[in-house]
Amino acid sequence: MTLEQRILFPQRNPARPDSWQNGPRTLLYQAGCAICHDAEHRAEMVPDLHTLKHPATADYWTQWITASKPASMMPAFTKSHDGPLNEQQIASLADYLEMSKGS
Ligand code: HEC
C-alpha cells in the first residue's frame, strides 16, 4: 500500500474510535506538516498548530494548506499550486486539525 493510498482511505484507530492519533490521517500530518510545525528545534516563526492563540476553523486550515500566504515560507500544498495533495486529502487534514485543536 502506498503512502498516498493510506492517506486516501483513512480509518479510525479501531482500539480508540475517537482518536486519529495512531491512524492514517495522522500519517499525512506527520509526513507533510509535522516536519516543520512539530519540529523540536523549529524557527520561532513556525507556529504550533495545536495551540494557536486565535480561533481556527476548518476553512482557515483549508485556506492555509491549499494556498499558504504570499511571501510565506510555508509551501502551498494543493495540486493547483504544484503541491502534492488533492482536495480529499486537504479536507481530511483540516478535519484532523479541527479534532486535535488544543491538544
Ligand atoms: C517548510 C515548513 C512548513 C511545512 C512543511 C508546513 N508549514 Fe505551515 N507554516 C510554516 C511557516 C513558516 C508558517 C508561518 C507563515 C507565516 O506566517 O508567514 C506556517 C503557518 C501555518 C499556518 C497558520 C498558523 C497561524 O498562525 O494561524 C497553518 C494553519 C499551517 N501552517 C498549517 C500547515 C499544515 C496543515 C501543513 C501540512 C499540510 C503545514 N502547515 C506544513 C511552515 C511550514
Residue 102 pLDDT greater than 80, yes or no: no
- Give residues (CB < 6 A) around ligand 1: 32-33, 35-37, 45-47, 49, 52, 61, 64-65, 69, 72-75, 77, 93
Pick the CATH number of 21-99 from 3.10.450.350, 3.40.50.300, 1.20.1250.20, 1.10.760.10: 1.10.760.10
Query: What residues does each domain of the chain span?
Result: 21-99
- pLDDT given at position 32: 85
**Around Cβ 43, how many Cβ atoms within 10 Å?**
8
Residue 4 pLDDT greater than 60, yes or no: no
- pLDDT given at position 99: 79
Q: Structure pTM?
A: 0.82
Ligand 1 atom nearest the C-alpha of 60 is: 29
Beta bridge partners of 4: none
- pLDDT given at position 51: 87
Give the DSSP per-residue string, the chain. Answer: --HHHHHHS----TTSTT--TTSHHHHHHIIIIIHHHT-TT--TTS--GGG-SS---HHHHHHHHHH--TT-SSPP-BGGGT-SB-HHHHHHHHHHHHHTTT-
- pLDDT given at position 69: 93
Place of cell 492555509: 64
The predicted-structure confidence for 37-78, as pLDDT tens digits, reads as follows 999 999 999 999 988 988 899 999 999 999 999 999 999 998
